């Protein structure tokens, strides 16, 4: 039966109620996960057990930590332009410590990692004094609960007490399910393969061969023959000539085609997990198809197709919780993506030179990209290749016409 939500419809009197053979109905997946903490699958997959799979933990860490390493910029609108303003309380929190024990980096990392692994998503509460956000508290998973109505509007409770939705940072994935839940079968298959490999190499699950003797053997005789065979041909004596009597036969056990493809099967499961988290398999450590020519494009794909949707959702969640409705018209929160798109020094220097020569950017604008201070004369849009020293000459006092004529 369903505990929540309560159904307003009742079944017709003549309609039979479908039950299992034991007379009880099976609970829905969400109800099982609520009370047991595990996701339906074989084997049971919970957030804790799924993270023991290296491909899953690598995907979660790569996405969440990449988002957290980006610089958070708080900007206000100045006419048609957006100007960075570090004096807003939201900027002070996000660029420093959100509370006495949590940094802004840890907050973003934990919000994204929870959205990747839990259906409820990442949740945090903003403590305000008046209209000013003073701290952000990230509670343990399950402390803040969320429920939605038909329109999708959420309601939040902290230990059973209702919260103002405007004070809650809520980051969730698409489909109202986390990627970990949606990929539970693929993760379960990877866990099964991991356990099979562990048993095989730890216990020698597959015997080296079968020794058969004609006639009926009792347990004592079979054990004695086996010990004698190991003593004569086991360990360092492997490879010697075996002498059998009583029409004995030895049949070696060979690998099947499935065993031979075990590594390929495990690699395929890594690819399945990468698809579930929408991340390139090269970022999970599989460099089989990575080359020098496509690795940079793979990194660009990571920003555009994997990280960008989470950054957009995170910017919206932070904006709704840290700004009042009036402030949202004039303020915004933005993640600086330049660190992920920055090329190596040689390529960057060539691009900078081309941008300055074509007068698209001036030198000080490009220096700001690298976090360097401006220099005098660097605000001029000149082409140093055509007019060398033009910026320096412009700063010198020009002679009067009479002095020039003399």
Alpha carbon distance 33, 335 (integer Å): 34
Query: What residue has token string 């730890």?
Result: 202
pLDDT in tens, the chain (406 residues): 444 444 444 444 444 444 333 333 444 444 444 444 444 444 567 888 899 899 999 999 999 999 999 999 999 998 888 898 999 999 999 999 999 999 999 999 999 999 999 999 999 999 999 889 999 999 998 899 999 888 889 999 999 899 999 999 999 988 888 999 999 888 988 888 888 777 766 655 556 667 677 767 777 777 777 777 777 666 665 655 666 666 667 776 665 655 657 777 888 889 999 999 999 888 888 777 766 666 667 778 888 899 999 999 999 999 999 999 999 999 999 998 876 766 566 677 888 888 888 888 999 888 887 777 888 888 989 888 775 555 445 555 556 655 544 4
CB-based contact 214:247 (threshold 8 Å): yes
Q: pTM for the full model? A: 0.68
pLDDT of residue 220: 77
Alpha carbon distance 205, 251 (integer Å): 17
Alpha carbon distance 330, 308 (integer Å): 23
pLDDT of residue 223: 77
Which residue from 253, 206, 212, 254 is spatially nearest to 229, judged by alpha carbons?
Answer: 212
pLDDT of residue 332: 94
pLDDT of residue 63: 96
pLDDT of residue 56: 94
pLDDT of residue 27: 45
CB-based contact 284:269 (threshold 8 Å): no
pLDDT of residue 396: 54
| String of DSSP letters for 123-185 | EEEEEEETTEEEEEE-PPTTSEEEEE-TT--EEEEETTEEE-GGGEEEE--GGGS-HHHHTHH
User: Which tokens sit at 113?
Assistant: 């990692």
pLDDT of residue 92: 93
* Strand positions, DSSP E, 161-271: 161-163, 168-171, 209-212, 249-252
Which DSSP helix (H) or strand (E) runs through 401?
helix 401-405
For 301, other C-beta atoms within 10 Å of its C-beta total 17
pLDDT of residue 20: 39
Residue 146, beta-bridge partner list:
156
pLDDT of residue 212: 73
pLDDT of residue 163: 95
């Amino acid at each position: 039966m369903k505990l929540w939500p309560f159904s307003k419809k009742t079944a017709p009197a003549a309609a039979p109620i479908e039950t299992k053979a034991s007379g009880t109905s099976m609970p829905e997946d969400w109800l099982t996960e609520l009370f047991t903490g595990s996701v339906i699958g074989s084997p049971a997959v919970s957030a804790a057990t799924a993270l023991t799979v290296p491909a899953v933990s690598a995907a979660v860490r790569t996405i969440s930590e990449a988002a957290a390493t980006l610089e958070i910029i708080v900007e206000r609108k100045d006419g048609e332009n957006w100007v960075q303003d570090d004096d807003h309380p939201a900027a002070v929190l996000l660029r420093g410590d959100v509370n006495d024990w949590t940094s802004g980096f840890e907050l973003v990392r934990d919000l994204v990692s929870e959205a990747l692994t839990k259906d409820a998503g990442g949740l945090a509460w903003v403590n305000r004094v008046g209209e000013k956000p003073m701290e952000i508290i990230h509670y343990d998973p399950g402390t803040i609960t969320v429920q939605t109505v038909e329109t999708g509007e959420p309601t939040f409770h902290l230990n059973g007490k209702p919260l103002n939705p405007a004070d809650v940072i809520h980051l969730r994935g698409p489909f109202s399910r986390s990627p970990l839940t949606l990929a539970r079968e693929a993760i379960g298959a990877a866990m099964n393969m991991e356990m099979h490999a562990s048993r095989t190499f730890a216990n020698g699950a597959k015997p080296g061969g079968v020794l058969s003797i004609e006639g009926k053997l009792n347990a004592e005789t079979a054990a004695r023959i086996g010990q004698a065979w190991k003593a004569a041909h086991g360990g360092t004596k492997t490879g010697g000539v075996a002498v059998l009597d009583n029409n004995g036969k030895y049949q070696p056990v060979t690998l099947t085609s499935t065993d031979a493809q075990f590594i390929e099967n495990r690699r395929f499961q890594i690819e399945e997990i990468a698809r579930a988290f929408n991340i390139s398999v090269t970022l999970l450590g599989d460099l089989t198809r990575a080359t020098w020519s496509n690795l940079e494009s793979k990194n660009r794909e990571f920003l555009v197709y994997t990280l960008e949707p989470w950054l957009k959702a995170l910017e919206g969640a932070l904006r709704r919780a840290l700004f009042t409705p009036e402030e949202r018209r004039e303020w915004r929160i933005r993640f600086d993506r330049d660190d992920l798109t920055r090329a190596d020094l040689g390529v960057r220097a060539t691009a900078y030179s081309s941008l300055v020569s074509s007068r698209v950017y001036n030198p000080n604008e490009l220096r700001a990209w690298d976090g360097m201070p401006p220099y005098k004369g660097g605000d001029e849009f000149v082409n140093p290749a055509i007019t060398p020293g033009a910026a320096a000459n412009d700063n010198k006092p020009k002679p009067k016409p009479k002095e020039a004529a003399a």
